[in-house]
Amino acid sequence: MFIPLHDGKPLKVIRFQFVTVAIILATAAVYLTTAAFTSDTVLMTIATGYGVVPGEMTGHIVPWRGFEPVPEPLTLLTYMFLHAGWWHLITNMLFLWVFADNVEDAFGYGAFAIFYLLCGLAAGLSQVLASPASPDPLIGASGAVSGVIGAYILLYPRARVWIFLFVPLPIRIGAVWILGGWFLLQVFSYFLPREGDLQVALAAHIGGFLAGLAITFLLRSKLLIRVGG
């Protein structure tokens, strides 16, 4: 795992990454609201009610404690605004802050908002397909953020990013190497034999990344910034 710090790529089209900031603020607000509950039972109820539970989505299990505040398909949108802890929230939002502004610059405000939600939806569906009977709730923005990473690689393959990696000193490395390596690690880890439950939703990461890559490639002629620019 690496920690991104800065990519040094200025915005070319939009004045400011308003949608990215709005997503970060909304996600942080949801976390602060849910973090006010200290009961594990309440937190699990929120996670299963608003998170994606593959077994509930596919009809293998009934809603936990009978609590279903939103229709199950709608959790494919609500789950990406929930997080399990401060570190979970901060890392996702840091990745979003470093990489999403330039993707928003290429898509434009409205299109980027739709793109982000579509990547999150694809990530959630990927996790459901990978574990259709699982009772474990999927929460977090990492699937949608993975889509942003997929788009970033295609849009800015020559970008260089300052990161923390293994040592507490920042290093500058090509985005295509560090982000491509991150994706390959997700794929490799997914196919590794393992015992017990996996806490990291690797299928969601892979699905979100591929969705971001595919959407960006298909819309490459309509984007505000040329792919590879």
Determine the pLDDT at residue 36. 78
Please give the Cα distance from 79 to 83 (Å, whole number): 8
Tell me: the pLDDT tens digits for 114-123?
A: 999 999 999 9
- The domains located in the chain, with CATH, are 3-192+199-218 (1.20.1540.10)
Annotate the chain with DSSP letters as a single string: --EEEE-----SSSSS-HHHHHHHHHHHHHHHHHHT---HHHHHHHHHHHSB-HHHHTTSSPPGGG--SS-GGGHHHHGGG--SSHHHHHHHHHHHHHHHHHHHHHH-HHHHHHHHHHHHHHHHHHHHHHSTT--SPB-SSHHHHHHHHHHHHHH-TT-EEEEEESEEEEEEEEHHHHHHHHHHHHHHHHHS---S--SS-HHHHHHHHHHHHHHHHHTTTTSSS-TT-
CA distances from 117 to 43, 100, 163 (A): 24, 13, 26
Residues 134-150 as b or e (16 or more Cβ within 10 Å = b)? bebbbbbbbbbbbbbbb
Structure confidence at residue 162 (pLDDT): 86
203 HSE (CA, 13 A, CB side): 16
Query: Residues in the chain with pLDDT < 50?
Result: none
What pLDDT is stored for residue 98 in this prediction?
96
What is the model's pTM? Answer: 0.93
pLDDT score recorded for residue 62: 80
